[in-house]
Amino acid sequence: MAGDSLDKLMYSFVVEDVLKGFFIHVPPGYVACVYDLGRGVLKKVMTPGLHLKIPFWQKAKLFNTQTLEYSISRQFDAQQPRALGDIPIAAITMDGKRVGTEGTILLRLDVHQVPLIWQTIGEDFVEKIVRPTIRSRIRMVFSRFNYQDVVGSRRDAVEEQLKQELESIFYPRGIYVENVLLTEIQMISSKE
């Protein structure tokens, strides 16, 4: 009896740790990067499918290459810093009005630059690059427009300038900005 339990335990170890260690399953919409103990992060990405790797010597990390929705909303949970999003962003318009901004920014990782993102920025690229850049650029772009322009007739110009500003910072780092969609802009009292 005790021998059967030990055999099952060993079989479980072999199947889970050894056999699964040979394969990387990459689902659709993702790529895998491989960290090799001898060569570091490999430049070649693994596209959807089943791939081989060297167990214990190589580790794989999946990255989502689908369109990512960076939501700026009151419903965002600020207790989760790695989550993709933010609370409403405060900005001051050219005519001195303080506004809170909500919206969505659509981003996508460049498949060919994912190894560089992992190597130079890390897995927490949202905390390090995306969130601070979006906050900064929203404040900068809003300072170029009057309140009436931002909430009314020139909102498309605000979105376009914001997209261009974000692209200038994100694109060299391997992040595409697909669209900027501002949904709600409200005046904030100075007491908040």
Tokens linked to 149:
């322009």
Which CATH number covers residue 124?
A: 3.30.479.30
CA pair distance 73, 80, nearest whole angstrom: 14
CA pair distance 192, 190, nearest whole angstrom: 6
39/89 same-domain check: no
Kindly report the pTM of this predicted structure. Answer: 0.80
- Looking at 13, 39, 64, the residue that finishes a domain is 64
> Is residue 60 in a domain?
yes
For the segment 80-105, the average pLDDT, to the nearest whole number, is 90
Query: What pLDDT does residue 80 have?
Result: 78
- Looking at 34, 64, 94, the residue that finishes a domain is 64
> Is residue 192 in a domain?
no
Q: How many domains does the chain have?
A: 2
73/16 same-domain check: no
pLDDT higher than 70, residue 154: yes
For the segment 51-73, the average pLDDT, to the nearest whole number, is 91
pLDDT higher than 50, residue 113: yes
52/72 same-domain check: no
The rounded mean pLDDT for the chain is 87
7/54 same-domain check: yes
CA pair distance 15, 127, nearest whole angstrom: 36
Residue burial 59-83, b: 16+ Cβ < 10 Å; e: rest: ebebbebeebebbbeeebeeeeeee
137/82 same-domain check: yes
Its domain, for residue 28, covers: 2-64
Query: What pLDDT does residue 83 have?
Result: 78
